[in-house]
Structure 1
Amino acid sequence: MNPNLDQLHPYPFEKLRQLFAGVTPNAEYSAISLGIGEPKHATPAFIQKALVNAMSGLANYPSTIGTDALRAAIAGWLQRRYGIPALDPATQVLPVNGSREALFAFAQAVIDPASRALVVCPNPFYQIYEGAAFLAGAEPYYVNSVPALNFACDYATVPGEVWERAQLLYLCSPGNPTGATVSLDDWKELFARSDRYGFIIAADECYSEIYHGSQPPLGALEAAHQLGRADYRNLVVFSSLSKRSNVPGMRSGFVAGDAAIVKKFLLYRTYSGGAMSPPVQTASIAAWNDETHVVENRNKYREKFALITPLLKSVMDVDLPDAGFYLWADVARTGLTDEEFARRLYADYHVTVLPGTYLARDAHGSNPGRNRIRMALVAEIDEGLEAAQRIVQFCTELKQPPYLNPNSK
């Protein structure tokens, strides 16, 4: 067996399952999960129709590079969304089976396992980054998010010797779980470091279309264009239809950017078998070419966050994020750790949230997930409000000692 498998941590939801072992949730309440970031809004009918109408494509082997029409649709969306010159669909765009699969595979393709490589990633983070680093024979280096910087990572604190060994930088903007976005000034500094040290930047942008202000988040390709980096050297972005179009089960995304890197990644994927199903390609074209359903989806999230955030803010330290569909709340004033909070809330009110320490690592003397919880506001408004009201009631009861609820174990 690959010895690097022994370095992998249990996935956050496996830790959550173990945390809840032996707990019988209060039968007075129905289950509501804010734990997993799985969109619950309905898949648009026109996407479903496009998928069904393309079922004849199941009789054909798909090519790894995807159809010309799909790559053109993705390139067209990037041009419209970010105001950049059109990418070359033949050399700068590659369809993938969801961003998760591609983010993992990318490290396997670009890391030299014989070189003591480091993979720099945010902390807290999407656990795929860490696992990809370990299985590529590299070591992750965690850059803590900073609450005073609106949960942005302070890359200026990373020592030069780390950048010298870095071969890959994963970043997520908008971030999971914090919702933080990368500014143009931050991008300028990161590009300068990439030029100096030669590492590749993998920008995970799967939450880019869910935002709460009037301005959409700055994209990596957009930043590169504004800074005169027309070749997108050493930059690759990953995006997906899962959150944008409510089709997580379709597993449809793309990689785009530096043509030389995309070419090598295509070679890798030709061997690994990462070709997208023809019906999914057809449905993806329909999704990327339509923006109306995206606006409607975003407005649903805005309505939810506008109603739910003030409720939760009355009992815990939480604010509206820049973007994304998570709330990253500090529960320290409840007197419970993040694990204790999640376990008791599940026991007493049958609401699932994810402890912040399950999404972060101890690094540089602290764990940025400690005493925080992640809440995914993915359900419809009524269910989300019900969950928020239960959390408020739970936190209110915590302030009335002694806390003797028999459902807590």
Structure 2
Amino acid sequence: MNAQLSLLHPYPFEKLNQLFADIQPADLPLIALSIGEPKHPAPAFVQQAIIEHFDHLSTYPNSKGLPELRQSIAAWLTRRFCLTHIDPEQHILPVSGTREAIFSFVQAMVKREDQPYVVMPNPFYQIYEGATLLAGAKPYFINCSEENGYLGDFDAVPEQVWQNTALLFVCTPGNPTGAVISKQQLKKLIALSDEYGFVIASDECYSELWFEQAPVGLLEVCAEMGRHDYKNCVVFHSLSKRSNLPGMRSGFVAGDATLLKPYLKFRTYHGAAMPVQHQLASIAAWNDEQHVEENRVQYRAKFDLFQQELGHLLPLQKPDAGFYYWLKVDHDEKFAKMLMEKAHIKVLPGRYLSRDTQSGNPGENHVRLALVADLAQCEQAIQRLKNVL
């Protein structure tokens, strides 16, 4: 067996199941606010597109994806991030969901014998860490706390770490904090990348769930700087959150062609090409913005309702973007157990999304609430929370 497997932590939801193992929950229907799985209906026109292309079930998909899909993604990137130089042939690879892509990208990018660092936010999406460990690299955690706006302090990273860094992960808007990295901060990270030669991987899967202003993207900043080759910069995007299509496993990686060319070779062997009927349905999703705006309207309504009804009982801070509350509590595990036992509401303790460092564990005494349920179920959750609190 791969010796690195022993380094992997249990997944957060496995820990959560253990935490609740001995609890007898309240005799009420479960309301799950723990997992970031959108519950809004999938767009009907995307479902229809899959049905219309069922004949492709007998077709092997190509690892590079259909040219038409890459063209539709390039057109969306151009519209959304004001890009002027994005080549569907060189700069874009469709993937079977960004979880798969993030994991495999690390395997392809890390030079194992160097045992480099992969720098990542803390708390974080656990795939960053797992991919790093299985690639033979070392995770270096940047604590994202209230003191630094949940964005991390990049100035505090020792130079020795930057010198031996292969890859930097940023997540903007952040999971679980919802914090958005500014244009100026991204420019600063690009300068660090130029100085030390590492790759920046920007996980932007929540970029379309915003309230007031659309978050800036890494490629957008590159374009503004005249870096139309997107040197050492890649972004990950998905239809899971944007279009309520987590089960379709459809996303893409875009950026530096000199990185994507060998990564495509890796993917050819990896064998994770998106089914053709899903690619064709994805074209329909990337070409439409109306359903995305309707999605945002629903999330805005739920956050407004939580703020209005519970703001006097809980220290709710509306995030910059995304669909999570990152809620400060006295003790995250005790709070989660209390809600499960008294209200049959499932939330995720913050410590399950973070790691201990010399300066503490930034996830402790927070819980993540995912406002993924529909408005009616959110109203039920609010009433139960009022009764408990």
Q: Distance in 1 between matches of 2:203 and 2:258?
A: 19
In the alignment, is the contact (CA less than 8 A) between 1:76 and 1:86 conserved in 2?
no
Secondary structure of the corresponding residue to residue 140 of structure 1? strand
Q: Distance in 2 between matches of 1:392 and 1:138?
A: 46
Quote how far apart the aligned CAs of 1:264 are: 1.0
Quote how far apart the aligned CAs of 1:212 are: 1.1
Aligned counterpart in structure 1 of residue 383 of structure 2, from 370, 389, 395: 389
Question: What amino acid is aligned across from residue 352 of structure 2 in structure 1?
Answer: Y
Does 1:376 pair with 2:375? no
Task: Indicate the larger mover: 83-92 or 6-15.
Answer: 83-92
What is the CA deviation profile of residues 18-76 of structure 1, one whole-angstrom value per residue up to 9, with x for unaligned ones?
Answer: 0000111111x211000000000000100000011011111111110001000000000
Q: Tell me the residue number matched to 1:232.
A: 230
Q: Distance in 2 between matches of 1:157 and 1:226?
A: 27
Question: Is the alpha carbon distance of 1:52 and 1:84 closer, same or farther for their aligned partners in structure 2, counting shifts above 3 Å?
Answer: same
Q: Distance in 1 between matches of 2:308 and 2:248?
A: 34
Q: Distance in 1 between matches of 2:273 and 2:242?
A: 21
Structure 1: runs of 5 or more not aligned: 396-409
Structure 2: runs of 5 or more not aligned: none
Give the percent of matched residue pairs that are identical in Structure 1 and Structure 2. Answer: 52
Q: Distance in 2 between matches of 1:388 and 1:122?
A: 31
Aligned counterpart in structure 1 of residue 352 of structure 2, from 322, 335, 358: 358
Q: Tell me the residue number matched to 1:252.
A: 250
Q: Tell me the residue number matched to 1:88.
A: 87
In the alignment, is the contact (CA less than 8 A) between 1:39 and 1:243 conserved in 2?
yes
In the alignment, is the contact (CA less than 8 A) between 1:146 and 1:154 conserved in 2?
no
Question: What amino acid is aligned across from residue 87 of structure 2 in structure 1?
Answer: D
Q: Distance in 1 between matches of 2:383 and 2:79?
A: 40
In the alignment, is the contact (CA less than 8 A) between 1:78 and 1:86 conserved in 2?
no
Across the aligned residues of Structure 1 and Structure 2, the Cα RMSD in angstroms comes to 0.9
Q: Distance in 1 between matches of 2:44 and 2:4?
A: 43
Q: TM-score, normalised by structure 1?
A: 0.94
In the alignment, is the contact (CA less than 8 A) between 2:85 and 2:228 conserved in 1?
no
Q: Distance in 2 between matches of 1:359 and 1:316?
A: 21
Quote how far apart the aligned CAs of 1:86 are: 4.2
Q: Tell me the residue number matched to 1:290.
A: 288
Q: Tell me the residue number matched to 2:145.
A: 146
1:272-287 alignment runs, 5 A limit: 272-287=270-285
Quote how far apart the aligned CAs of 1:387 are: 1.0
Q: Tell me the residue number matched to 1:17.
A: 17
Does 1:367 pair with 2:361? yes
Q: Tell me the residue number matched to 1:307.
A: 305
Q: Distance in 1 between matches of 2:144 and 2:302?
A: 26
In the alignment, is the contact (CA less than 8 A) between 2:15 and 2:352 conserved in 1?
yes
Question: What amino acid is aligned across from residue 20 of structure 2 in structure 1?
Answer: F
1:61-80 alignment runs, 5 A limit: 61-80=60-79
Secondary structure of the corresponding residue to residue 114 of structure 1? helix
Q: Distance in 1 between matches of 2:387 and 2:328?
A: 17
Secondary structure of the corresponding residue to residue 153 of structure 1? coil
Question: What amino acid is aligned across from residue 147 of structure 2 in structure 1?
Answer: A
What is the CA deviation profile of residues 125-152 of structure 1, one whole-angstrom value per residue up to 9, with x for unaligned ones?
Answer: 0000000000000010000013133211
Question: What amino acid is aligned across from residue 112 of structure 2 in structure 1?
Answer: P
In the alignment, is the contact (CA less than 8 A) between 1:317 and 1:329 conserved in 2?
yes
